[in-house]
Amino acid sequence: MSLRVLLICPGDIIDESKEFFSLHKSLKKLRSLPSLGLSSLSAILKAENHKCLIVDAFAEQLTKEQLLSRVEKFAPDFIGVTSTTPFYKMASLTCRCLKERFPNIPVILGGPHVTVMKKDALLEPSVDYGVIGEGEQTLLALLTALAKKEPIDDIPNVIHRVDGQLLMNEIVDQRLDINELPIPDRSDLPLDSYYDSLSLHGKAMSMMTTRGCPFRCLFCEADVRGGRYRAREVSLVIDEMKHIVNELGFPEIVIYDDTFTVNRKRTVAICEAILKDGLKFSWDCRTRVDCVDEELLALMKRAGCHRISFGVEAASERVREVLRKDITDEQIRNAFLWSRCVGIRTIGYFMLGTPTETKEEIEQTIKYAIELSPDIAHFCITAPYPGTDLYRMGVSMGVIPDDFWQCYVGLADEEHMDIPYFTSKGLSRQDLDKLLKKAYRDFYFRLGYIGERLTVIRSLGELWWHIKLAKELACLALL
């Protein structure tokens, strides 16, 4: 039986003047990339001869009526919606609108928020089913059973309703063999809507070569990120890169792995394969400072890597220990120095307001960022995402109530919509906000940074890149 399945990445379908949605607006200015989870699901469904369509309402900035018109035109048997925690409000409102217009079409919610919050994620009554964890196997099994009107109680990782009550089936660790998954289906995506404003070319496409992470950072949702580390075979990675570059025509790839270079031998093999096959494209990645060396970075540069992101988080070794980063000052300084030497731009990520962190330690981090001198410094106030050990620490410390995620996603009263901070007697919420503004001002509004930027411009493309960088990031210093 062939089913028609519509997969939706939700966007703003209500009044965008709401302060909560400023997060969406800021992200949309910096980059717009597709949901790789939905693309993977679509590939699986099409391999089983089902009809599948992805609607990226986020990238296309669809209105409510535009979205509903797409749904009506496709006439799906089932609708799937993905959601992260910060965008759960948009997802829930999308599900509500869908159910109001199409009451007889089952709505299935999946994504990181369902994985973390489980039954609580289905408090929105317009959602009929929830899928926990990696959805490729679970969604296919659920759709097959529903189409055949068979019981679904034995399908692992499914949330459903029985007589108005939410029931959760057995939770099973389904760590898929990602080498068995097909290349994510990008055929229905609005390819012209995807870009990275900080890229060399503007137009960019994302991909993942691994799932999971072997490290133990306090602020990371390990289960959401795929749990146990698994890597796709090098040949499959190269096949997908060729598909993106040669068939889809993208000049740049954003590698979304949590830690791309965790396996040095594999990273070398990927870079050598890119060079051997003559693939010409730019790419960037995220990794850790203890997972690179100068020789590896030089090879990555030759293979097209133009930017790399490192999570530093804090200057203080004590604070990094609280965050369980397990990295040293020497590793941090070497990673940025080596990247600069081989010609790879760097982004440094820094967190302000970690539990027990003092004002002096935060100011030390700001100075540290200036010393490291990444091309881009991203500062944020430490926020406890649901599902993380940091969130559980906040609950145990009494900083946040156990159900604060509802406030976090904007479901509670307007007066309680602030993202929680780890404040203390000597460091108030207002203090942290001021320190965040200071971090951006001190880093970007200094002659040394401006002069350094001018010296690295070698072409009109480089000049345009820096103009975009200044436009999007300087405003953060003027908040």
Residues 6+ positions from 165 with CB-CB distance below 8 Å: none
Tally of residues, the chain: 479
What span, in angstroms and rounded, lies between the C-alpha atoms of 289 and 320? Answer: 13
Q: Which of 137, 62, 113, 326 is nearest to 213 (CA)?
A: 326
Q: pLDDT tier at 22 (50, 70, 90 boundaries)?
A: very low
Give me the helix-helix angle, 36-47 and 135-147, nearest 10°: 50
pLDDT of 147 over the 80 cut: yes
What span, in angstroms and rounded, lies between the C-alpha atoms of 207 and 409? Answer: 27
Helix (H) or strand (E) holding 277: none
Helix (H) or strand (E) holding 458: none
Between 452 and 109, whose confidence is greater?
A: 109
pLDDT value at residue 417: 52
pLDDT value at residue 460: 66
What is the DSSP code (8-state) at residue 393?
A: H
Q: Which residues pair with 364 in a beta bridge?
A: none
Which stretches within 31-170 are classed as H helix? 36-47, 57-60, 64-74, 88-101, 112-117, 135-147
By the 8 A CB rule, do 286 and 257 touch? yes
pLDDT of 313 over the 90 cut: yes
Give tens-digit pLDDT for 412-456: 544 445 667 787 768 888 999 999 999 999 998 888 887 877 777
Helix (H) or strand (E) holding 207: strand 205-207
pLDDT value at residue 224: 62
Give tens-digit pLDDT for 339-362: 999 999 999 999 999 999 999 999
Return the ∠ at Cα 23 (arms to 380 and 433), rounded to 5°.
35
pLDDT value at residue 455: 78
Give tens-digit pLDDT for 349-408: 999 999 999 999 999 999 999 999 999 999 999 988 888 889 888 888 877 776 666 666
Q: Which of 185, 199, 204 is nearest to 249 (CA)?
A: 204
Long-range contacts, stretch 333-338, CB < 8 angstroms, 24+ apart: 333/372, 334/289, 334/294, 335/289, 335/292, 335/310, 336/289, 336/310, 336/372, 336/373, 336/374, 338/292, 338/293, 338/294, 338/297
Q: Which residues pair with 408 in a beta bridge?
A: none
Residues 6+ positions from 53 with CB-CB distance below 8 Å: 4, 5, 6, 7, 74, 76, 188
Enter the tokens of residue 153: 């109680």
